[in-house]
Amino acid sequence: MNMDNIEKDVKLNKGQNLDWRFFIVTIVLVSFGLIMVYSSSSVEASTSSSYNYNGYYFFIRQMRGVLLGFTGIFIITRLRLEFIKKMSLPFVLLSIILLALVLFIGVERNGSKRWLELAGFSLQPSELCKLSLVLFMSSYLSESKKKVKSFWLGVFPLLFLVGIIFLLIEMQPDLGTIIAIGLIFMFMLYIAGTRAFHLISIFIIGLGIGIFQVIEKPYRMARMMSFVNPWKDPESSGFQIIQSLLALGSGGLWGMGIGQSRQKLFYLPEQHTDFIFAIIGEELGFAGCLFTIMLFLIFIYSGFRIALSRKDSFSFLLAAGLTGSIAIQAFVNMSVASGLLPLTGMTLPFISFGSTSMIVSLCSVGLVLKISASPPLKEPERREVKLEKSLRKISREKTYNKRLYSRL
């Protein structure tokens, strides 16, 4: 491998100007998340032998994910955008291989096998798939406008890839991640300009498969019924959403105060992961919920602003796709905690406990920051047009020369 090329790939562009508003709101979200992870998990951790009676257990592990995530931002912002695009295929293939490994050597928790243990660190490959899929789709769909409009050239290969990912995740099983990746996939196709007929067809078929998966598994059907009427089974399938609503309702306008939640005292399951938004509502009230939503709105606005400022397709698709991915997960998580959507098991980006989720979210931020500071990439379509013009010019010259020789 040529060392000069490697140096070019990791060289920081001179005079690059990162979007500091986007970066600062990320820091605020992460800092707020660390506070809430400690507040929501300290009681459980300090009273359980599984966590060595250490109230800081989850906070320390989350802090580790934050440090690795910001290291990822530092590295990514020093890579060339061309190199990042080039690595999209290897990255998505690596994610699929890790997903497959989970089925053989994965760690099982709460009846699901979703994690790999690597040197004391838990890795959730399905989280990596969210990032790698957006990166690969951005690269693939930006290559040619013909691919975007064609089902067989553009949509079908991506459907095949997503189908493999869905199959591997369903074997864990993890319906929440399948829903998240499905929504991200549809969003990417939409912003790339895929035909409406293709989008509607995929949505209808996907919805049908989703309904079948829910009906087939009794526990999923119970979750759906608890969403319709949680009070029908308040001690089993409806317990979690009822406790979440009690937490949100108990907070009032200003909340009970940081660390003063009652629902985290072994009433609300997954209080530091899937239902951390309910703890925010209980401890910080409506004001805390509004603060959280405003942070995400600023984040989303800044991310889409960066995307819309880009002139090349790859940068636009990647920035919009990564921002949209985080927006989708945030919306679904807060809606579930508020009883507006059925239980999905989706975490709140930057705030819920989860090292892999934190690392992936921060690396996504690093990619968007890199795009904000990079010059636009050369469009493949433009190169094709230039090549076509050159070939036409050569053809005209040959025709002229033939006529000239025939006259002589």
pLDDT tens profile 5-36: 544 444 444 435 788 899 999 999 999 999 99
Between 403 and 57, where is the model more confident?
A: 57
pLDDT digits (tens, 9 = 90+) for 223-271: 787 778 888 888 877 888 999 999 999 999 999 999 899 888 878 888 9
Measured in whole angstroms, how far is the alpha carbon of residue 22 from the centre of its chain? 16
> Rounded CA gap, 110 and 126, in Å?
16
Residue 383 has pLDDT above 90, yes or no: no
Q: Is the dihedral of CA 344, 349, 352, 356 positive or negative?
A: positive
Mean pLDDT confidence for 314-325: 95
User: For the chain, how long is the longest CA-to-CA vector?
Assistant: 101
Mean of the per-residue pLDDT values for the chain? 86
Point out the least confidently predicted range of 64-68, 214-218, 387-391.
Answer: 387-391
Q: Which among 26, 49, 27, 51 has a CA at the least distance from the CA of 38?
A: 51
> Rounded CA gap, 196 and 183, in Å?
15
Token pair of 186 as six digits: 């549809």
- Residue 54 DSSP symbol: -
> Rounded CA gap, 331 and 337, in Å?
10
pLDDT score of 394: 57
Point out the least confidently predicted range of 52-56, 225-229, 272-276.
Answer: 225-229
pLDDT score of 384: 43
pLDDT score of 123: 86
DSSP of 303-334: HHHHHHT--SHHHHHHHHHHHHHHHHHHHHHH
How many DSSP H helices and E strands does the chain contain?
16, 3
Q: Which among 68, 43, 73 has a CA at the least distance from the CA of 58?
A: 43
pTM over 0.85: yes
> Rounded CA gap, 210 and 183, in Å?
12
Residue 155 · residue 194 · CB < 8 Å: yes
> Rounded CA gap, 6 and 18, in Å?
23
Residue 169 has pLDDT above 80, yes or no: yes
Rg (CA), the chain: 24
DSSP of 213-251: HHHHSHHHHHHHHHHH-GGGSTTTTTHHHHHHHHHHHHT
Per DSSP, what are the bridge partners of residue 112?
109
**Residue 3 burial by Cβ neighbours in a 10 Å radius (0-12, 13-18, 19+):** exposed
> Rounded CA gap, 211 and 294, in Å?
33
115: confidence class by pLDDT, cuts 50, 70, 90: confident
Percent of the chain whose predicted confidence (pLDDT) is above 90? 55
SS3 state of residue 347: coil
Point out the least confidently predicted range of 96-110, 174-188, 381-395.
Answer: 381-395
Alpha helical stretches, state H, 87-155: 88-105, 125-141, 145-149
C-beta neighbour count of 28 within 10 angstroms: 14
Residue 273 · residue 62 · CB < 8 Å: no
pLDDT score of 10: 46
Token pair of 261 as six digits: 């939640």
